Amino acid sequence: MKKRAFSGIKPSGSLHLGNYLGAIRHWVADQHKYENIFCVVDQHAITVEYEPAVLRQNIRELVGLYLACGLDPEQCSLFVQSHIPEHTELAWLFSCITPMGWLGRMTQFKEKSEGLREQVSAGLFTYPALMAADILLYQTQEVPVGEDQKQHVELARDIAQRFNHLFGETFVLPEPVIRTVAARVMGLDDPTKKMSKSSASDNHGIGLLDPPALIRKKLSRATTDSQRDIVFNRERPGVYNLLSIYQALSGQSQEEIEAHFAGKGYAQLKGDLADLVVAALEPIQERYRQLTSAPEHIDQVLAQGVVRLRPLVDATMTCVRYVMGLR
């Protein structure tokens, strides 16, 4: 029996290289090993201010990119979170057994709410309960994510444990799966901040759909430092970030990469890295163009995902409603 893997991405902006290297490429590489469920978590994208028409567009773009990156709908159930309303039902039930203290400790909440104070939505605060519902609804064993999501997956595990303790064995306890290379890709403009969809700067991230010339330009402007040698050193976050991306895309060891760049300058590093990034993204962009020219295919894939998942959802929810005394 294959283990079940679940993961998701918020359709809150264009996907970037961090999403690809930290998450999607591993889902693609490992899809034959698992029973896979990948979600476009649209209800997570509305916890902060957003534009409805843009969200609608982003949802479709994200599904198209899942497919273009190589997720195979024969091996993976792909769907949009809000198409299965039990996610929010279960999230409410979880929010009733999750202490405020647990949610208040989430570093992502602390970062995102900084400076906003009373303006922050209740949804941003309870977001991890919805994420726990996403994972636990499917009795997921493994959750492949980038490093930033580890704390949320651990919280989902704590919620599962608390639920099982209160109402009897109901949920499988999930584990985060985090790869070490490029688990945290940093911003090109500021290598002390993780690459994210929400940055206002033009030179922050590389979009998966960025044209090659733009990719080259962004990399040529990436922040480095005033030293010369090109070595993996975490104390030099700019160079370290570029080298980590190089390592993830080339598959070479740190020693091989350092030897390759010995005696060379930052311009060479940025140029060679741009070649690798462009070579990795061009086929994805080509498939994306083909897929989006036939939008019915995307609708079909999504509908098929929901049909396949329905029995699993019903089994979990029938049990949950009963043990909680709702039925």
Exactly one of 112, 150, 193, 217 is catalytic; name it.
112
Check if the beta carbon of residue 49 is closer than 8 Å to that of residue 80.
no
Instruction: Confirm if 8 and 40 have CB atoms less than 8 A apart.
Output: yes
* CB-based contact 266:230 (threshold 8 Å): yes
- Catalytic residue from among 10, 150, 194, 217: 194
CA nearest neighbour of 68 among 297, 289, 277, 279: 289
* 112 annotated active-site: yes
Should residue 65 be labelled a site residue for ligand AMP when binding is judged by CB under 6 A?
no
- Name the residue type at position 256: E
| Active-site residue, from 10, 197, 218, 270 | 197
- Residue 143: name its binding partner from ligand AMP, ligand TRP, none (Cβ under 5 to 8 Å by kind): ligand TRP
Query: Contact letters (x/-) for ligand TRP, 29-58, by CB under 6 A?
Result: ------------x--x--------------
Please give the C-alpha separations between residue 252 and each of 255, 259, 268, 273, in angstroms, as whole numbers: 8, 11, 17, 13
| Residue 270 appears among annotated catalytic residues | no
Q: Which residues pair with 80 in a beta bridge?
A: 40
Task: Name the nearest CA neighbour of 13 among 195, 144, 245.
Answer: 195
Only one of the segments 67-75, 194-202, 209-217, 292-300 lies at the binding site for ligand AMP (rule: CB under 6 A); that segment is 194-202
| # residues near ligand TRP by CB under 6 A | 13
Instruction: Determine, following the binding rule CB under 6 A, whether residue 95 of this chain makes contact with ligand TRP.
Output: no
Those residues with Cβ within 8 angstroms of residue 301's Cβ, 6 or more apart along the chain or in another chain: 63, 67, 73, 78
* Residue number with CB closer to ligand TRP (45 or 274): 45
Q: Which is nearer to ligand AMP, 23 or 65 (CB)?
A: 23
Q: Which partner in ligand AMP, ligand TRP, none is near 241 (CB below 5 to 8 A by kind)?
A: none
CA separation (Å) from 43 to 8, 11, 84, 104? Answer: 11, 9, 11, 20
Region of 325 on the Ramachandran plot (φ > 0 left; ψ -120 to 50 alpha; else beta):
left
CB 172, CB 140: distance < 8 Å? yes
Contact (Cβ atoms closer than 8 angstroms) between residue 71 and residue 78: yes
Strands 142-144 and 76-80, how do they pair?
Answer: unpaired
Residues between 163 and 192 with contacts to ligand AMP, criterion CB under 6 A? 183-185
| Region 140-169 residues binding ligand TRP, contact defined as CB under 6 A | 143, 145, 149, 152
Tell which one of 4, 5, 6, 9 touches ligand AMP (CB under 6 A): 9
- Nearest approach, Cβ of 149 to ligand AMP (angstroms)? 4
Q: Does 124 bind ligand TRP (CB under 6 A)?
A: no
Neighbours of 84 (CB within 10 A): 20
| Catalytic residue list contains 194 | yes
Question: How do strand 175-177 and strand 142-144 relate by DSSP bridges?
Answer: parallel
Q: Which of 73, 146, 191, 238 binds ligand AMP (CB under 6 A)?
A: 146
Q: Which of 124, 135, 160, 222 binds ligand TRP (CB under 6 A)?
A: 135
Q: Which is nearer to ligand TRP, 28 or 215 (CB)?
A: 28
Catalytic residue IDs: 112, 194, 197
Binding site for ligand AMP (CB under 6 A): 9-10, 18-19, 22-23, 145-146, 148-149, 183-185, 194-197
